[in-house]
Structure 1
Amino acid sequence: MASSELAATYAALILADDGVEITADKIVALTTAAGAEIEPIWATLLAKALEGKNVKDLLSNVGAGGAGPAAGAPAAAGGAAAATDAPVAEEKKEEEKEESDDDMGFGLFD
């Protein structure tokens, strides 16, 4: 990542930490005060990407894999085994689908 991109990201994090609305003008002002010159378009894009989002929540849920909490997190140990079986079940369905194509009487190399 280029230093100007990092500077814009750090500026957005500073604004979020202070509870200040993240805008392009504020990102540019912070980066300029820090001595890092960035193009205003990048500040605008970053501000629009973060618009309406709670940056602190985004950082807290980095490992969650999505917008919601991790699936099965409050479940007991038995729930963890069921979660690991789900990908295996999907693979079996895909294999069955592939086998059904062979039953049509033609294949890729016939």
Structure 2
Amino acid sequence: MATGELACTYAALILHDEGIHVTAEKISALVKAANLSVESYWPSLFAKLCEKKNIDDLIMNVGSGGVAGPMIYLFSFIEEPKEESDDDMGFSLFD
């Protein structure tokens, strides 16, 4: 995970743990207070994802990945298009 993602992950979790509504501005403030810099789009991306997902559910349901696990799950909705394979068509090279 890149530094920007990790910094925003921790910031969002800190805000949530303190009962503070997660916003891009608050994530940016925490990241800045930690003397870190992130790409400008990360805080707003994490804030939008936190609005769409219940962070408590993510924390309770993700069993691996350490502290960053819940936020990694947030990105799971962004799926890359799957390529069709021979297995998808009912046959393969080894039949």
Give the alignment's TM-score, normalised by structure 2: 0.61
Taking the aligned partners of 1:4 and 1:41, their CA distance within structure 2 comes to 10
Aligned to 1:106: none
Aligned to 1:8: 8
User: 3-state DSSP class of the match of 1:51?
Assistant: helix
Larger Rg: 1
Instruction: Read off the aligned partner of 1:47 and give its amino acid letter.
Output: A
Report the CA distance between 1:41 and its aligned residue.
Answer: 1.0
Contact 1:15/1:22 (<8 A) preserved: yes
Report the CA distance between 1:52 and its aligned residue.
Answer: 4.5
Taking the aligned partners of 1:7 and 1:37, their CA distance within structure 2 comes to 9
**Identity fraction in percent:** 55
Runs of 5+ consecutive residues of structure 1 not aligned to the other structure: 64-97, 99-110
Instruction: Read off the aligned partner of 2:18 and give its amino acid letter.
Output: D
1:19-58 residue pairs with structure 2 within 5 A?
Answer: 19-58=19-58
Specify which structure has the bigger relative contact order, considering alpha-carbon pairs within 8 angstroms and separated by 6 or more residues.
2
Report the CA distance between 1:44 and its aligned residue.
Answer: 0.4
Structure 1 runs of 4+ with >6 Å offset = none
Taking the aligned partners of 1:4 and 1:53, their CA distance within structure 2 comes to 20
Taking the aligned partners of 1:4 and 1:20, their CA distance within structure 2 comes to 21
Taking the aligned partners of 1:61 and 1:45, their CA distance within structure 2 comes to 22
Give a deviation string over 1:72-101, Cα, whole Å, max 9, x none.
Answer: xxxxxxxxxxxxxxxxxxxxxxxxxx6xxx
1:89-108 residue pairs with structure 2 within 5 A?
Answer: none
